Amino acid sequence: MIQLEEAILRILEQIPRLGLERVNLLQAQGRVLGEEVVAPRNLPPWDNSAMDGYALRWKDVQKTSAEKPVRLKVLADLAAGRIYKGRVAKGEAIRIMTGAPLPRGVDTVIQVEDTEKAGSAVKIFASPGKGKNIRRAGEDVKAGEQVLHKGIVLQPAHIGMLASFQRSFVSVYQQPRVAILSTGDELLEIDEPWAGGKIVNSNSYSLAAQVTACGGLPIQLGIAKDQIDALLSKIRQGLIADLLLTSGGVSVGDYDFVKEVLKSHGKINFWKVAMRPGQPLACGIIFGKPLIGLPGNPVSAMVSFEQFVRPSILKMSGHQNLFPPALQAELTEDIEKKAGLVHFIRCRLFREGEKTFASTTGEQGSGILSSMVKAQGLIVLPPDRNRVQAGEAVSVILLDPTFLHTPMPSYLSFADDREKNC
Ligand code: AMP
Ligand code: MG
């Protein structure tokens, strides 16, 4: 049996980062960028108007006022997307729309609210200062500047920046294909007729959902009977994947063959981790592919996934940060635990003011799937303790990110009043 931290490191050591692929920009959201992106041109590409108004020479309007407005001759109407070919001279102006390239000869734009049309001329009532209301070429990004770095996780703003430079395809790390195999003679598929003594294969589904949630592509291999040949044949089918997951058959029972198969046809890295739930866990390489043998109990399988498989999938997908942030919360009850093991206690979370509290979801057995259903987080209790007490501060891995959402954010000044009015 090895310690949790060592187990995580040893699994990650045997997990490769995948290669790159080019994807359509709209499919790149949430993926890890696989290239350095340098601006091919200035953004904006040319000086342009920041306002609807009149482009003119500041000298002409320097002394203007509401009482004594300056009159300028309007040469043309310039919509965004059009270029004015001529040059603006003394006493002249161009009616200009937001985003239109600045005509030659002008240095200032006066917003339309400070003007009045007068036939083919315009009266200017105010002058905001030289160079006002102009967006300069390259003020956002200069040509040749590095705008995005390899390894970032693409978010909507990055997608927008890539679109600005007409990048309809972008290079990203591949999504890991993760084959999922449930083992057990007792298992029944989701759509098989209900039968006495059988247990529905729920693990394949919870695990597939976890794979999807962290950006992997699940491949369902179904169920393997508790026989070496059946297991081997399904594992061979799974070799199309980048990572193989099995559930069940990894304990010390007479029908637990996963580690036997790993030993005889591959290389076992370790077996058993000092944690609860999820102590039985085997990992290694088989036919050149990494395999993580998760325990069969539904909670153990899911909790072990979060500890070992999630960081593995993230590493394969090119991520640098492989672990979720942990919150600090105050325990509301005493918890007994086994010394020597890290315990992951399913908990509900609630907030009072700035403080977060954690309460267990009740019965913590490794077969109690409803403890995961109710859980917003996993309290992590360290191996050196055999008891933790109400009032202690504990670390909690957040399972439900919506816990951090609020009905009304406190940064909106009207939120308090509104609550009072409710
Ligand atoms: P095992 O690790 O194979 O001894 O399985 C431990 C327990 O987990 C047994 O009670 C199984 O019925 C249950 N179990 C194993 N595989 C699955 C599965 N795919 N879906 C739901 N429960 C399972
Ligand atoms: Mg079994």
pLDDT tens, position by position, 254-299: 888 999 999 999 999 999 999 999 999 999 999 999 999 999 999 9
Strand stretches in 112-191, DSSP E: 115-118, 121-124, 134-135, 146-148, 169-173, 177-183, 187-188
Collect all residues with Cβ–Cβ distance below 8 Å to 150 and sequence separation of at least 6: 33, 34, 35, 36
Q: Is 278 in the pocket of ligand 1 (CB under 6 A)?
A: no
Q: Which atom of ligand 1 is least distant from the CA of 256?
A: 3
Cα 321 to middle of ligand 1, angstroms? 31
Q: Is 253 in the pocket of ligand 1 (CB under 6 A)?
A: yes
The closest ligand to the CA of 250 turns out to be 1
Q: Is 249 in the pocket of ligand 1 (CB under 6 A)?
A: yes
Q: Show pLDDT as tens, one digit a residue, over the chain (422 residues).
A: 999 999 999 999 999 999 999 999 999 999 999 999 999 999 999 999 999 999 999 999 999 999 999 999 999 999 999 999 999 999 999 999 999 999 999 999 999 999 999 999 999 999 989 999 999 999 999 999 999 999 999 999 999 999 999 999 999 999 999 999 999 999 999 999 998 999 999 999 999 999 999 999 999 999 999 999 999 999 999 999 999 999 999 998 888 899 999 999 999 999 999 999 999 999 999 999 999 999 999 999 999 999 999 999 999 999 999 999 999 999 999 999 999 999 999 999 999 988 999 999 999 999 999 999 999 999 999 999 999 999 999 999 999 989 999 888 888 866 566 566 65
Q: State the sign of the Cα–Cα–Cα–Cα dihedral 178, 298, 369, 185.
A: positive
Secondary structure of residue 236 in the 3-state scheme: helix
Cα 183 to middle of ligand 1, angstroms? 8
Q: Are 111 and 56 in contact (CB under 8 A)?
A: no
Q: Which of 188, 203, 369 to mutate to test the pocket of ligand 1 (most atoms within 8 A of CB)?
A: 203
- For residue 306, the 8-state DSSP code is I
Q: Are 223 and 183 in contact (CB under 8 A)?
A: yes
Q: Which atom of ligand 1 is least distant from the CA of 226?
A: 3
Q: Are 341 and 279 in contact (CB under 8 A)?
A: yes
Q: What is the pLDDT of residue 419?
A: 60
Q: Is 199 in the pocket of ligand 1 (CB under 6 A)?
A: yes
Q: What is the pLDDT of residue 418?
A: 59
Q: What is the pLDDT of residue 412?
A: 85
Q: What is the pLDDT of residue 394?
A: 98
Q: Are 134 and 109 in contact (CB under 8 A)?
A: yes
Q: Is 201 in the pocket of ligand 1 (CB under 6 A)?
A: yes
Q: Is 365 in the pocket of ligand 1 (CB under 6 A)?
A: no
Cα–Cα dist 300/304, whole Å: 6
Q: What is the pLDDT of residue 409?
A: 84
Q: Is 208 in the pocket of ligand 1 (CB under 6 A)?
A: no
Q: What is the pLDDT of residue 420?
A: 60
58-61, Cβ contacts within 8 angstroms, sequence gap of 24 or more: 58/107, 58/108, 58/127, 58/129, 58/130, 58/131, 59/90, 60/90, 60/91, 60/93, 61/108, 61/110, 61/124, 61/127
What tokens does 93 get? 């102006």
pLDDT digits (tens, 9 = 90+) for 60-94: 999 999 999 999 999 999 999 999 999 999 999 99
Cα–Cα dist 306/11, whole Å: 13
Q: Are 214 and 178 in contact (CB under 8 A)?
A: no
Compute CA distances 102 → 60, 77, 110, 119, whole Å. Answer: 17, 12, 13, 23
Torsion angles phi and psi, residue 295, rounded to 5: -65, 160
Q: What is the pLDDT of residue 422?
A: 57
Give me Rg for the CA atoms of the chain: 32
Q: What is the pLDDT of residue 253?
A: 87
